[in-house]
């Protein structure tokens, strides 16, 4: 299990606290320092079953500043590619925390329930 975090994020810290309380084995990825590649973002999106705009922090001031809100939300490879490239270039816009579960899925773990869901997913 891997968790993508921003240490400054309270939801990330809460998720780590819960993982530790449950004795989970996991690897921490500080994704602002260890920026995921476009391929890694594509893989996580596949595991999440979401579109790139679904994991983009569009209300963040950086979203407006960088123009991500104006990108097309079309279920085409071209549109997805634009969003994914934008997330790779501006990782701060990636929703957090993201936990990759043992069964090959992933969750955006912004709630205790979502963290517990990831913990329950065994391979």
Is 12 an active-site residue? no
> Are 106 and 78 in contact, with CB atoms under 8 Å apart?
no
> Are 84 and 38 in contact, with CB atoms under 8 Å apart?
yes
Please state, as a whole number, how many other Cβ atoms lie within 10 Å of the Cβ of residue 39.
Answer: 10
**1, 9, 35, 79: which is the annotated catalytic residue?**
9
Helix (H, G, I), strand (E, B) or coil at 23: coil
So which residues are the catalytic ones?
Answer: 9
């Amino acid at each position: 299990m891997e968790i993508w975090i921003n240490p400054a994020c309270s939801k990330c810290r809460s998720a780590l606290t819960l993982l530790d309380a449950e004795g989970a084995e996991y690897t921490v990825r500080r994704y602002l320092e260890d920026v995921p590649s476009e391929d890694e973002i594509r893989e996580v999106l596949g595991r999440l079953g979401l579109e790139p705009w679904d994991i983009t922090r569009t209300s963040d001031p950086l979203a407006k500043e960088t123009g991500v809100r104006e990108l097309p939300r079309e279920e085409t490879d071209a549109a997805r590619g634009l969003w994914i490239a934008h997330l790779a270039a501006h990782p701060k816009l990636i929703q957090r925390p993201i936990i990759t579960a043992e069964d090959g899925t992933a969750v955006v773990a912004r709630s205790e329930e979502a963290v517990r869901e990831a913990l329950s997913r065994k391979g």
